[in-house]
A and B are shown apart, each in its own frame.
Chain A
Amino acid sequence: MHLLLIGVSHRTAPIELRERFDFQTRGVEGALRALAARDAAREAVVLSTCNRAELYAACDERDAGRQDLVRFLAEYHGVGVDLVAPHLYELADLDAARHLFRVAAGLDSLVVGEPQILGQVKAAHSAAAAAETSGPLLNRLFHASFGAGKRVRSETGLGSGAVSISFAAVSLARKIFGDLTDRSVVVVGAGEMGKLTARHMKAQGAHHVTIVSRSMAHAARTAEAIGGASAAPWDDLDAALGGGDIVITATGAAAPILTKARIEATMRSRRNRPLFIIDIAVPRDVEAAAGEIEQVFLYNIDDLQATVRENLARRAGEVAHAESIVGEEVEKFALWVRSRGAVPTIVALRQHFESVRHAELERLLKLSSLPAEARERVDDITRLIVEKLLLTPTEQLKSVGDQEIVGAYHEALTHLFGLGAHPRPAGPADVEPERPKVVDGSFNRTTRR
């Protein structure tokens, strides 16, 4: 059983091609079902975002599986295999696992550390779980990737700090005012950046947005575009400043509109409540000296850009740490995969014990005429005995990581119990025989939730 991955991402394919491989427009479920209908993949998960389309599959044959996945990807999207091939990446087993862990951690994202990808990976797995195309191997793989993603997020600064101007402004506002719910935003001028930042503030809960513009009609239009905002005439600017907490200036004026003296005057009327001014206009709308006023926090476009750069640099500095966490998680996953090497032996051993039990039970029931209730008891007790006898050997076998030792055990057990009579099952992904709750091996945890 092999874990296979094929995909295209922003690293390998231009947007025109990624668009054609988007699974979401037609629905991921359909793709999963189509994939399951083919024989190559025993398990499959489709991860499709705007930056990547990836197929994860568990296949018996590595090469055949890989070829079939490529064919599926091309056929499903109606693209020639030749066209896809140069943009595809194909990974197998632990390399595929490492890739998924890096994706979930945000290490493979366009903006390193962006937070949405973990949710998208989770959604991809839930969709496969709902379509019943995910099985023991991929369930384990994806849950491990959630763990890796969470660890990277909580133990490194990979996702910290805003990496866009408008989010940097929002994050500053939150650091000054905490909750933005009862804060008022004043937008002076009606440019695109001002609108965008105001929208972000509104999304963060800012309760009122006022647009002040030299042209009342323009202000009204912008207010409408933002939604739930109001417009005010230019003459009311001082009053608006007095009532606002966050001021975004973005006019095309050649000289500063808000001088230090003007802001000082408003600060008196607002009893020195903090005022956060974001000046995104070039040339600047606010006199730089205004930043010296005690409770005024003045940031211009360069300051915001500088914090964005700092944040990006800080994220880059965290990559090595994040990669080492991913490495640890891959190690853990590898250990689990190796422990599954013992599964055929365990299955054979169990089948052997079970067949002995059945044979003896049948013989007993033929010879004596037990009442139905007693038969059930005997059945229960013998099954319990078998379970208890096999509990420790099962656990011990699963804890063996080394393939050679697993082989030695397999030989020894086959020899000792004459297991040769039973055919050796095909691969580690075979589902184990159903077991009563007495045995709680690591396998139970891998089944789908």
Chain B
Amino acid sequence: MMRFVPLALYAAALAAYVWHFAVRHAAVGRAATTLLVAGAFAHTFLIGMQTMEFGHVPFASPTSAISTFVWLLALAYLYTEMTTDERAMGALILLLIVALQSIPTLQPGVEERAAVLESPLFGVHVSSLLFAYASFALACVIGITYVLLFKEIKAKHLGFFYARLPSLQVLDSMNQRAIVVGWVFLTIGLVVGAVWASQAPTTDPRVQAMQVQDPKIFVALVCWAVYSFEVFAARRIGWGGRRTAYLSAVGFAIVLLNFVPISYFLTRSHNF
């Protein structure tokens, strides 16, 4: 029963964030944040319980990894909200959180850990990647709001988003920061994963499949290429603002693709 609590609180927070976005009452905004904090607390408790039950943080199965990812995303968003005092992104982030959290809530996966995963490197690998993905999710949502505002200003039709979103400059730098943080963790996650795979006993067929041709690994490398371009090259060739915002959305679409369908159906190397 406990596993429904975070989802219910997140859903309530989503409703409150949407309401706040529409009416802009300070009290509604505070209520939204309170609900999200409560949801994150309940989620922390749930993950803590599962950690005690399994003896490790539950992220070895794709389903529980989603739950942990959602938890990190909620925390990352709360951090952003508290440091910038900006709730405009909340509605979109919570939409993503609720959509993703319903997967582990409605279809809890069996958390069993294969012997090959008994390595501290595996923990670093997964947690870095989940954190990177949470950052990219934030960057994506910030990017989408950037584009919405950009279009309003460009079209000289100052309305709904103009009144509710922070400035383009603020959105752009928030996006940039989220991308850089995500890229650092993505890089750590991939490098540690490669090191770990090279050390793991090759008797396991899944370890044998850990090559660039494996869809999960291949798509992860594509992600890394996309975000590396965004971090290092985009602005130098004059790809500021809207183009990098679009790129963040594309990058996160690839992340999601890798995270949900590929994990479930296609990969041979990462189906633990």
Residues of chain A whose beta carbon lies under 8 Å from any beta carbon of chain B: 154-155, 157, 160-161, 172, 174-179, 267-268, 271-274, 291, 294-295, 297, 299, 303, 306-307, 310
Among the stretches B30-38, B130-138, B166-174, B224-232, the one at the interface with A is B166-174
The 10 A-B pairs of least Cβ separation, nearest first, read: A178-B167, A272-B238, A178-B169, A178-B170, A272-B240, A303-B156, A177-B169, A271-B238, A176-B168, A175-B167
Query: A161-B163, A174-B167, A297-B153 are known contacts; what are 4 more A-B pairs with Cβ within 8 Å?
Result: A175-B168, A272-B240, A272-B241, A307-B158
Contact, CB under 8 Å: B170 / A274: no
User: In the complex the two chains form, what is the Cα distance from A176 to B240 in whole Å?
Assistant: 13
Q: A175-B149, A175-B162, A294-B242 are in contact. Are A306 and B235 (CB under 8 A)?
A: no
Q: What are the residues of chain B within 8 A of A272 when measuring CB–CB?
A: 238-241
Whether B114 sits at the interface, judged by CB under 8 Å, is: no
Is there an interface contact between B153 and A175, defined as CB atoms closer than 8 Å?
Answer: yes
Give the docked Cα–Cα distance between A375 and B86 (Å): 62
B106 interface residue (CB < 8 Å to A): no
In this complex, what residue of B is CB-closest to A302? Answer: B156
Q: 22 A-B residue contacts at CB 8 Å?
A: A155-B25, A160-B163, A175-B158, A175-B167, A176-B168, A177-B169, A178-B170, A267-B238, A271-B236, A271-B238, A271-B240, A272-B240, A272-B241, A273-B240, A274-B240, A294-B243, A295-B241, A295-B242, A297-B153, A297-B154, A306-B156, A307-B158
Asked if residues B156 and A177 are in contact (CB atoms below 8 Å), the reply is no
| B156 contacts across to A, CB distance below 8 A | 299, 303, 306-307
Nearest-Cβ distance from residue A352 to partner chain B, whole angstroms: 45
| Contact between chains at A176 and B153 (CB < 8 Å) | yes
- In this assembly, does B1 line the interface, its C-beta being within 8 Å of a C-beta of chain A? no
Q: How far is the CB of A159 from chain B (nearest CB, A)?
A: 12
Give Cα distance in the complex from A230 to B236, angstroms. Answer: 30
| Cα distance A154–B170 in the bound complex, in angstroms | 23
Chain B, 193-249, CB within 8 A of any chain A CB: 235-236, 238-243
Docked Cα-Cα span, A80 to B240, in Å, equals: 68
- Considering the chains assembled together, what is the distance between the CA atoms of A161 and B239 in angstroms? 31
Q: Select from chain A the residue with minimum beta-carbon distance to B243.
A: A294
Nearest-CB residue, chain B, relative to A271: B238
Bound complex: CA A172 to CA B25 (Å)? 23
Contacts of A273 in B (CB 8 A): 240
Chain B residue nearest to A292 in the complex (CB):
B154
Q: How far is it, in angstroms, between the C-alpha of A174 and the C-alpha of B149 when the chains are bound?
A: 13
A157, B158: Cα distance in complex, Å: 14
Question: B26 at the A/B interface (Cβ < 8 Å)?
Answer: yes
Contact (Cβ within 8 A) B239 A176: no
For window 90-123 of chain B, which residues contact chain A by CB distance below 8 Å? none
Closest to A306 in B: B156
A294 and B163 contact, Cβ closer than 8 Å, known pairs A177-B169, A178-B169, A274-B168: no
A272 CA to B156 CA in the complex, in Å?
20
Closest to A173 in B: B167
Within 8 Å CB of A307, what residues of B?
156, 158
Q: Are A154 and B153 in contact (CB under 8 A)?
A: no
Q: How far is B164's CA from A161's CA once the two chains are assembled, in angstroms?
A: 12
Which residues does chain A contribute within 8 Å of B149, judged by CB atoms?
175
CA distance A271 to B240 in the complex (A): 8
Q: Are A310 and B158 closer than 8 Å at their CB atoms?
A: yes
Instruction: Give the shortest distance, in Å, between A244 (CB) and chain B (any CB).
Output: 15
Cα–Cα distance between A175 and B146 once the two chains are bound (Å):
11
From the candidates A176, A299, A303, name the one contacting B169 in the complex (CB within 8 A).
A176
The residue that B240 contacts in the complex, of A160, A295, A299, A310, with Cβ under 8 A, is: A295
Chain B contacts of A299 at CB under 8 A? 156
**What residues on B are CB-neighbors of A174 within 8 Å?**
167
**When A160-B163, A175-B149, A177-B169 are in contact, do A154 and B26 touch as well, CB less than 8 Å?**
yes
Shortest distance between the CB of A201 and any CB in chain B (Å):
15
Known: A154-B25, A272-B241, A273-B240. A178 touches B166 (CB 8 A): yes
Complex: how many Å from CA A297 to CA B150?
9
Q: Mark B138-181, 1 if CB is under 8 A from A, else 0.
A: 00000000000100011010110011001111100000000000
Contact B240 A157 (CB under 8 A): no
Closest to B173 in A: A178
Contact yes or no, B240 A177, CB < 8 A = no
Measured CB to CB, the closest approach of chain B to A182, in angstroms, equals 11
Contact A274–B166 (Cβ < 8 Å): no
